Amino acid sequence: MLRAVIFDFDGVITDSEILHFRAFNAVLAPHGFELTKHEYYKDYLGMADKDCFKALIGEGRLRIKESQIPALIQQKTQVFEQLARTEGRIIEGVRELLDLLAKAQVPIAICSGALRPEIELILEEAGLRDCFDIIVSAEEVHHGKPDPEGFLLALQKLNDVWPDPIAPECCIVVEDSHWGLKAAQTAGMRTVAVTNTYDAAQLRQADKIVHRLNDLTLDDLHRICP
């Protein structure tokens, strides 16, 4: 049965993927190159910042030492926060689903490759911070998606605060990318994909695909976790 819902953040709660793309390029430009939108969405979108920079170093495109990555992350975070304050928005349908889950007393968490200050900023600005029992951000895991570490940590934290143990198969993960869906499924969880970032054909491994989160009903969610 349905016991918890874990949300990805960028591309699921907030329309911020394009802001991350712009922030990455603002930091990369002084190093002599920028990512195209196509390659960012195809190859890097699902990565945490540190993994993205590591990949670019490994590919020989970003000619810096790995020890310099924390400074780049800090620069990118500053650019992103400026963009988020002026251009960040909550995706249509999110508030309705959060209200539905709250009324049904279903525990809710976030598991994201974004940094905690980025997540907290947007949630606070939108008045949604109190909706989430648990937040797991990039700083708390060693391995980003598609590794399941983040989702398993979110479940562990939910079990720390809820009295009855929640099994992985009783959790639904809401994701917008195939990286996130793979991580959730490896963790033994059920999945809903929302087509905010990729089309349905690229998300077909999900248990259910929707175009907007307020298309979901409680009956839909219970059917996914029989």
Could you tell me which residues come within 8 angstroms of residue 112 by beta carbon, excluding any fewer than 6 positions away? 8, 9, 10, 119, 135, 136, 137, 138, 150
Identify the structural domains of the chain with CATH numbers, from first to last: 4-15+90-224 (3.40.50.1000), 17-87 (1.10.150)
Distance between CA atoms of residues 110 and 7, nearest Å:
5
Could you tell me which residues come within 8 angstroms of residue 36 by beta carbon, excluding any fewer than 6 positions away? none
90 has pLDDT over 90: yes
DSSP-H helix ranges across the chain: 17-28, 37-39, 49-58, 69-87, 94-103, 116-126, 149-161, 178-186, 218-224
Question: What are the tens digits of pLDDT across the range 163-220?
Answer: 899 999 999 999 999 999 999 999 999 999 999 999 999 999 999 999 999 999 999 9
For CA atoms 12, 220, 210, 96, give the dihedral sign: negative
Question: What are the tens digits of pLDDT across the range 5-32?
Answer: 999 999 999 988 899 999 999 999 999 9
Question: What are the tens digits of pLDDT across the range 100-119?
Answer: 999 999 999 999 999 899 89
Task: Write down the pTM of the prediction.
Answer: 0.85
Distance between CA atoms of residues 146 and 128, nearest Å:
26
Distance between CA atoms of residues 185 and 9, nearest Å:
17
Residue-level pLDDT at 84: 87
DSSP helix/strand/coil, 15? coil
Residue-level pLDDT at 48: 86
